[in-house]
Structure 1
Amino acid sequence: MSSFVSPSASRDADATTAMKWLPLLVLCLAQLSTSGDNATLSIATGALVADLHASMDLVNIANAMYSLAAGSLMVAAGMIGLIVGWKKTFRIGCGLLFLAELTAYFSPNMEVFTYGARLLSGVGGSFMIPSVLGIIASNYKGPQQAVAFGAIGAASGVSFAAGPIICGLLVDHLGWRAAFAAIAGLCIVIFAGSFLVPTPAKPERKVTFDLPGVLLTVIGLFSLILGFLKVSSWGLITPFNAPFTVMGISPAPVLVVFGLIVLAIMLKWERYREEKVGSALIPLSFLRTPQVRNGLYLTAFIFLAYGSGIFVTVSFVQVVAGLNGIETGLLILPFALGVVIFSLGLPVVYKNANPKRMCQLALLIGTLGSVLCIFGFEPSDFSFIVPVGMCLIGVSMGIVSAYSSYIVTSGLPSRDAQQSGGVQATSRNVGQAIGVAVCGMVMLTAITMSVQDAARSDTQLSSDTRTKVADITVIPYLSDSAFSKLMLDHGINQTDVAPLTTVYKTARLNATRAGMVATAIMTLLFLFGTRNLPTRTKGNQNDDASDDKKKTAVR
């Protein structure tokens, strides 16, 4: 007997499918907007220095402001989303980001740009990104949820590739203000599109605001992230250019330790509060469920791999090889394609994948990509091996992106799954800060020690030069001309600058390779966090259960 589907029923099914996935497009645009804001700042650095007379210190603070504001507030925003509703917090975040871009467009100086525009963008991101994850967790279930989370990962991949290219074209042809105005226009589109997003159901149990927990979380995360971000500029133990010291050592590790202590106190408080009132910023289910903990580790890996791999590669190709923003974007394109194709395509094409095995494979692929990059760097250039290695790192990130958020939400009760967006987003920020901090510290230490050791053993250099080089606290990652100027500024004899520059080229190459070695080691370490991952998605488990019932019926 043949089945017949009426044209009207087919049209209704198509409409239902469109209404299911159109909101996801809006959420992906939201992810693109926050990533585009950060990409624009990176590309516009030179223009900001020229137009607003910005110092590099202020540019670095502007770069860090988003991570500090967003990373510190995202957990709190996750609770606010449950209280007032995810659509409201999504729109609040979109509105704040719009104001941030307008502030950037009209900024008369770098102070307004940094403490106005960048701070607003971080606060806007802290509301928007957890809302995106919360809306997905509440509106999509099973395999559809895995596809939706994969699409968000793909949106990040698109921003990695398209961001530098599009922003570079806007900055070069229309100016940096036009680039920020374009993102403001995108925010208007996103806000209008938010009316297509279904309103998530409110949690069954009432959630009350936790002011002590929020204060402890903000202080702890701010200190932790700031400490990691400043390791490479303030020093790990010996202070470099720190504004102050703590008992003679750099304040960066002190801030990290202080942040960890405050967060430990916060977790104690949250345990007490959940037992007393039934809700918490970080529910106990996050800490007690091994699958959720491992999923959060993997979420941190995604941006740790991005932070460390991109940091090392972009530092080399721009400082040493001299690539501009657009050329750098084209170099990163294979990396971004790896993220996009695998984060979006894997849950669609390979529906019966084993999440645990896939994530383990992803980490091995990422390690291989990091190792390949080591052999692609040359003293003043790079070979095709570097984009190949970056592509593998992107594939690794894409595979993990396809499953990490689903792994977290599928291991939690419904209300906690919605609230996990803030914790997941914070894990990404902390992961990125750690990746940049570790690679930056490894590279600075390697380059400083290599130059000083070579200078100390080179008898052709004057004794005065060897003494002055040994007294330099830190030798930064610079171009050849910038290094020569640095040596002259430290009083090095002109005749000794040329041989020192030759030494520096070798030291810089070794430092770059050391940064990728650190990326490979960190990636391998994440394998220890895959032990408790699920081997099947909920959709697969339901299918298996159905098959078992059918077999039983046949028997």
Structure 2
Amino acid sequence: MTHHTTKHTAAAGTPAAPARRWAALAVCCLAAMLLGIDNSVLNYAVPSLLREMGPSGTEILWISDIYGFAMGGLLVVMGNLGDRLGRKRMILLGAAAFGVASLFTAYAPTPEALIAGRALLGVAGAAMVPSTLSVVRHAFTDPKERTTAIGISSGIGAASFALGPVVGGLLLDHFWWGSVFLINVPLMAVVLVAGVLVLPESRNPRPGRLDWIGVPLSVVGVLGAIYAIKTGFRDGADHAPVWIAAAVGTAALLLFARRQVRVEEPLIDLRLFRNPAFSGAVGSNLVMIFASSTLSLAFSLYFQVVRGWSPFTAGLALLPGPLAAAFAAPLATALIPRLGRARVVALGLVLLAVSTAALGRLSAPGTSYAELLAPLVVNGAGIILIVSVTNDTILASAPRERTGAAAAVSETAMEMGGSLGIAILGSLLGAVYRDALVLPAGLPAGAAGPARESVGGAVEAAARVPGADGAALAAAAKDAFCHSIQVTTVVGAVLLALGAVAALYTLRGVPAEIPDSEAEEDMRSLSAPGR
């Protein structure tokens, strides 16, 4: 296996003027924000969709899931294409495709057309995500500025997921369901026009041949794994499609990994994982997203079902955490020289663990929102301390010509880690709820089944049961759900604390500043005989 190094040539990406590189960061942040919003905004349009389009339950699931399936399955391929064709070009192509797909999706006449539109949005998103991170990496060559810029970009990306409910709630209060997609069109036009003017171009000047056999193996492997995880834990692992997807996905990933160590120009250079900086950062991200992914889901249900707030109000209630993440990004840059990367990541995981446990403890129905506010802010600050350092470490640890592929590996791991977290911890949340639920005596038979299924089903069933029995059912379901949040958040907090210990070990030798040349030296040493 050969490995090409690059100097700071025009092809590899020259340092941009200060004003232009910060403008490029703004464009990349806007693109990342729109992608994050689109990932979560649809959940709040489902009731309108059901009324106006009448999709089946299976179609609703595909409408919700296909965006993540398409994006997750294509990240590795699109990251490599960005390295080869140019990262700016991929962002512009992705932005144009995302705008067109948004217009198509907003006016989709049938559920099938809506599924197709969401799939196209996922493809366009996959084209943009790795390249936005890579453009920021190439625009900022000073290590301190680079860390700050990647931290800001990561913070905006984190905040955008919580903006989905807020944006969706505002639009759905005044317009039809398609407005949540139509809003993308003018904003992506801004990304497209501004991107042409300010984004610097960079690419691998000697990319070699694309591994055309590895491409389908990568797509099938990741898609199969994500589908099996999501569908298996939602519908049960005894369904034949789940086992088939798991078997095909595992086989494809094994063949893909075997091929990557043999081809001259791999889609994923597996030697990167022998670099402690890269593998430790990816591992810390996995722990973070796995343990914290269920928190947003649990508290969205808590605010809407237990406390009876509207989706828009629930979105506003969750917003302080992501906003804290967006504004606390420079804190990571300031702490790295004083504490080192390992301790900053460990500190972020500890803050996340403490705030997660605190939110669980405070999740009683009568808790005031003011008591929840501080843990929400600490939670967001903890997330940004982690992702600011880990994303910068991942990109800085990879050779400059392969940063798109490195970013794609990180994003794919996050996608799969989030799916696993929601599947496993989400299942725990449901199991503890069902075990803790004590149904009132004399409850009508038709109310017991929905009540055991979910807290939302219980509250809806309680509304149909007259008198004290209905009130008792609603109270029992809310108490059981709050108990399930407390148990699940304790498990998540323990995992995060263990992740903090692991981060101290895996990232202990990573320097506070990672210059561009260091990744090249590391990769050459890993290629040396005997390694």
TM-score, normalised on structure 2? Answer: 0.85
| Aligned partner (choices 516, 534, 541) of residue 489 of structure 2 | 516
Could you tell me which residue of structure 2 aligns to residue 328 of structure 1?
A: 314
Q: Is the 8 A contact 1:300 1:429 kept in 2?
A: no
Q: Is the 8 A contact 2:221 2:253 kept in 1?
A: yes
| Aligned partner (choices 255, 272, 286) of residue 300 of structure 1 | 286
Could you tell me which residue of structure 2 aligns to residue 263 of structure 1?
A: 253
| Aligned partner (choices 506, 509, 517) of residue 532 of structure 1 | 506
| Aligned partner (choices 452, 456, 461) of residue 478 of structure 1 | 456
**Superposed displacement of residue 384, structure 1:** 3.1
Residues of 2 paired with 1:272 and 1:481: CA distance?
Answer: 57
Distance 1:230 1:262, change over 3 A: same
Residues of 1 paired with 2:32 and 2:48: CA distance?
Answer: 25
**Superposed displacement of residue 99, structure 1:** 1.6
Residues of 1 paired with 2:429 and 2:435: CA distance?
Answer: 10
Could you tell me which residue of structure 1 aligns to residue 41 of structure 2?
A: 40
**Superposed displacement of residue 256, structure 1:** 4.5
Aligned 1:193-342 pairs, distance under 5 A = 193-235=194-236, 245-246=239-240, 252=242, 255-256=245-246, 259-273=249-263, 277=264, 279-304=265-290, 307-342=293-328
Distance 1:401 1:174, change over 3 A: same
Could you tell me which residue of structure 1 aligns to residue 77 of structure 2?
A: 76
Residues of 1 paired with 2:243 and 2:379: CA distance?
Answer: 29
Q: Is the 8 A contact 2:83 2:403 kept in 1?
A: no
Aligned 1:86-125 pairs, distance under 5 A = 86-113=87-114, 115-125=115-125
Could you tell me which residue of structure 2 aligns to residue 140 of structure 1?
A: 140
**1:271-313 superposed Cα distances (whole Å, 9 cap, x missing partner):** 111xxx2x11110222221221111123334543552221111
Could you tell me which residue of structure 2 aligns to residue 550 of structure 1?
A: none
Distance 1:293 1:405, change over 3 A: same
**1:479-499 superposed Cα distances (whole Å, 9 cap, x missing partner):** 54324489x9xxxx9998776
Q: Is the 8 A contact 1:312 1:516 kept in 2?
A: no
Could you tell me which residue of structure 2 aligns to residue 396 of structure 1?
A: 382
Alignment partner of 2:494: what SS? helix
Q: Is the 8 A contact 1:70 1:122 kept in 2?
A: yes
**Superposed displacement of residue 334, structure 1:** 1.6
**Superposed displacement of residue 416, structure 1:** 2.7
The unaligned stretches of length 5 or more in structure 1 are 1-14, 240-244, 543-555
**Superposed displacement of residue 500, structure 1:** 5.4
Alignment partner of 2:455: what SS? coil
After TM superposition, the structure 1 stretch with the greater mean CA deviation from structure 2, 119-128 or 326-335, is 326-335
- In the alignment, is residue 411 of structure 1 matched against residue 402 of structure 2? no
Residues of 1 paired with 2:450 and 2:45: CA distance?
Answer: 31
After TM superposition, the structure 1 stretch with the greater mean CA deviation from structure 2, 295-304 or 322-331, is 295-304
Could you tell me which residue of structure 2 aligns to residue 551 of structure 1?
A: none
Alignment partner of 2:204: what SS? coil
After TM superposition, the structure 1 stretch with the greater mean CA deviation from structure 2, 382-391 or 331-340, is 382-391
Residues of 1 paired with 2:360 and 2:451: CA distance?
Answer: 27
- Counterpart code for 2:226: I
Could you tell me which residue of structure 1 aligns to residue 522 of structure 2?
A: none
Residues of 2 paired with 1:499 and 1:136: CA distance?
Answer: 55
Q: Is the 8 A contact 1:100 1:116 kept in 2?
A: no
**Superposed displacement of residue 371, structure 1:** 0.6
**Superposed displacement of residue 390, structure 1:** 2.2
Residues of 2 paired with 1:358 and 1:69: CA distance?
Answer: 33
Residues of 2 paired with 1:50 and 1:98: CA distance?
Answer: 26
Q: Is the 8 A contact 2:434 2:453 kept in 1?
A: yes
- Counterpart code for 1:119: A
Distance 1:366 1:204, change over 3 A: same
Alignment partner of 1:165: what SS? helix
| Aligned partner (choices 338, 350, 356) of residue 370 of structure 1 | 356
Distance 1:254 1:108, change over 3 A: closer
Distance 1:178 1:417, change over 3 A: closer
Residues of 2 paired with 1:49 and 1:380: CA distance?
Answer: 32
- Counterpart code for 2:186: G
After TM superposition, the structure 1 stretch with the greater mean CA deviation from structure 2, 531-540 or 92-101, is 531-540
**Superposed displacement of residue 62, structure 1:** 1.8
Q: Is the 8 A contact 1:154 1:398 kept in 2?
A: yes
**1:221-251 superposed Cα distances (whole Å, 9 cap, x missing partner):** 112112222244213x5x5xxxxx24xxxx6
Alignment partner of 2:261: what SS? helix
Residues of 2 paired with 1:110 and 1:191: CA distance?
Answer: 29
**Based on CA coordinates, which of the two structures has the bigger radius of gyration?**
1
Q: Is the 8 A contact 2:28 2:153 kept in 1?
A: yes
- Counterpart code for 2:213: P
**Superposed displacement of residue 132, structure 1:** 0.7
**Superposed displacement of residue 422, structure 1:** 1.1
- Counterpart code for 1:538: I
Residues of 2 paired with 1:520 and 1:207: CA distance?
Answer: 45
**Superposed displacement of residue 320, structure 1:** 1.9
Residues of 1 paired with 2:333 and 2:203: CA distance?
Answer: 28
Residues of 1 paired with 2:267 and 2:302: CA distance?
Answer: 40
Q: Is the 8 A contact 1:375 1:385 kept in 2?
A: no
Q: Is the 8 A contact 2:71 2:126 kept in 1?
A: yes
**Superposed displacement of residue 260, structure 1:** 3.6
Q: Is the 8 A contact 1:369 1:393 kept in 2?
A: yes
Alignment partner of 1:174: what SS? coil
Aligned 1:344-359 pairs, distance under 5 A = 344-347=330-333, 352-359=338-345
- Counterpart code for 1:58: E
Q: Is the 8 A contact 2:305 2:459 kept in 1?
A: no
Q: Is the 8 A contact 1:66 1:121 kept in 2?
A: yes
**1:355-388 superposed Cα distances (whole Å, 9 cap, x missing partner):** 1101001101000011101121124766433332
Identity across the alignment (%): 21
Residues of 2 paired with 1:37 and 1:444: CA distance?
Answer: 26
Residues of 1 paired with 2:244 and 2:321: CA distance?
Answer: 35
Q: CA RMSD in A?
A: 3.2
Residues of 2 paired with 1:539 and 1:116: CA distance?
Answer: 43
Residues of 2 paired with 1:254 and 1:210: CA distance?
Answer: 26
Q: Is the 8 A contact 1:444 1:511 kept in 2?
A: yes
**1:379-412 superposed Cα distances (whole Å, 9 cap, x missing partner):** 4766433332222221111111211111112222
Q: Is the 8 A contact 1:302 1:428 kept in 2?
A: no
Residues of 2 paired with 1:309 and 1:120: CA distance?
Answer: 29
Residues of 1 paired with 2:31 and 2:156: CA distance?
Answer: 9
Residues of 1 paired with 2:301 and 2:242: CA distance?
Answer: 22
Distance 1:39 1:472, change over 3 A: closer
**1:198-221 superposed Cα distances (whole Å, 9 cap, x missing partner):** 444432433322122111111111
- In the alignment, is residue 28 of structure 1 matched against residue 29 of structure 2? yes
**Superposed displacement of residue 61, structure 1:** 2.3
Q: Is the 8 A contact 1:32 1:159 kept in 2?
A: yes
**Superposed displacement of residue 177, structure 1:** 2.5
TM-score, normalised on structure 1? Answer: 0.81
